[in-house]
Amino acid sequence: MVLCLPLLLFIMALMINFGIAAAWKVRTLSIARGQAFANSWPRTGATNPRPAYWPQTASASTAGPENAASLEDPRVLQPVARGPLPQGLTVRPELLDPTRGLRSGKAGIERDYALMKKLGTYQLKSENWMLDDKWQYQRMGIPDTIFRRIPFLYELTKAPAPRAAYLQAAAAVYRASLDPRLQPLDNDPDFIYYGALFGWGGAPDFHPLLNQFCTLDKTVAQQHTDELVDRVHHLPNCMTARFLDLYQRVLTAAQAMIQAAQQGNQSLTAVLPALQTAIADAQAKIPILSAFQGRLGQGP
């Protein structure tokens, strides 16, 4: 024991010293990494101070941003970030160049050994690198997160200026929605009146809308246009069927309510004149719409 105990104590002291030094090495790495992040936009060193456990005598600093000489990493060598792209698209290097914005965080500390002070001191240093370019939408000139990033990140091929005929057609389509003759398409008075009388809701929207699409492919644009024209051609059939269904439902509901009033439902007595008028109106319009629907089925 006399021979072994000093050796065992010496080994135990070395283990303790090594464990404490390793723990402080991890802290040094964490401080260096934290310094790089604490000074990346929109943070500043003032708003992200050093942790309380890091002594004031220890160093903690940051450097940059600067440009890296090169980044030979396959993850950043993709065409969408470095180019070239098909169809003449150009990457905006000031936004997507991965070699820009290189920042480093540094940390260093000198400590005494916990045991066996005669061993002196040991020094720990660490440096952590990070890329901090304009990856935030505010710094890329994008107004908000709802905007598409492609027009800001790439220089897109500009479409030719619209022709005067296209502009006139677009203006005509826009002004057409204000024409009072198109009121039945989404604000028909019969749907509104009978919907309020019987509790069915408001008028349906019959407007044949164009499906949204974003492309320069004329084939795709022509396909969507043909679908819109087809919906316009079928609009008379659709509206006739919906109006026939409306007046048939009015006729059925009004007759049922009049029968309930005759059987003693006093709450319906006040609306009897309106119900009788609704029945007469429906009986007059149903044959007209049925005949019109038959002519639609025969074609032009």
pLDDT digits (tens, 9 = 90+) for 267-283: 878 888 888 999 999 99
Select the more confidently predicted residue: 95 or 300. Answer: 95
- Is 292 among the domain residues? yes
Mean confidence (pLDDT) of the chain: 85
User: Does residue 206 contact residue 239 with C-beta atoms inside 8 Å?
Assistant: yes
- Is 4 among the domain residues? no
Q: Which of 155, 178, 204 marks a domain boundary?
A: 155
- Is 10 among the domain residues? no
Residue 248 pLDDT? 94
Check whether 113 has a pLDDT greater than 80: yes
Residue 298 pLDDT? 59
The mean per-residue pLDDT over the stretch 75-88 comes to 76
Select the more confidently predicted residue: 42 or 297. Answer: 42
Q: What is the sign of the dihedral through the CA atoms of 48, 53, 56 and 57? A: negative
Q: Which of 134, 155, 176 marks a domain boundary?
A: 155
Burial class (CB in 10 A: 0-12, 13-18, 19+), 117: exposed
Residue 23 pLDDT? 94
* One domain, residues 42 and 120: yes
Residue 42 pLDDT? 79
Domain containing 240 equals 164-298
- Is 1 among the domain residues? no
- Is 175 among the domain residues? yes
Torsion angle, alpha carbons of 197, 202, 207, 210, to 10: -160
* One domain, residues 132 and 178: no
Q: How many domains does the chain have?
A: 2
pLDDT level of residue 20 (50, 70, 90 thresholds): very high
| pTM (two decimals) | 0.46
Select the more confidently predicted residue: 234 or 180. Answer: 234
- Is 178 among the domain residues? yes
Alpha helices in the chain (DSSP H): 4-38, 79-82, 93-96, 150-153, 164-176, 189-198, 218-262, 272-298
Check whether 184 has a pLDDT greater than 60: yes
* One domain, residues 111 and 28: yes
* One domain, residues 134 and 238: no
Check whether 300 has a pLDDT greater than 50: no
pLDDT level of residue 139 (50, 70, 90 thresholds): confident
Q: Which of 155, 172, 193 marks a domain boundary?
A: 155
* One domain, residues 207 and 142: no
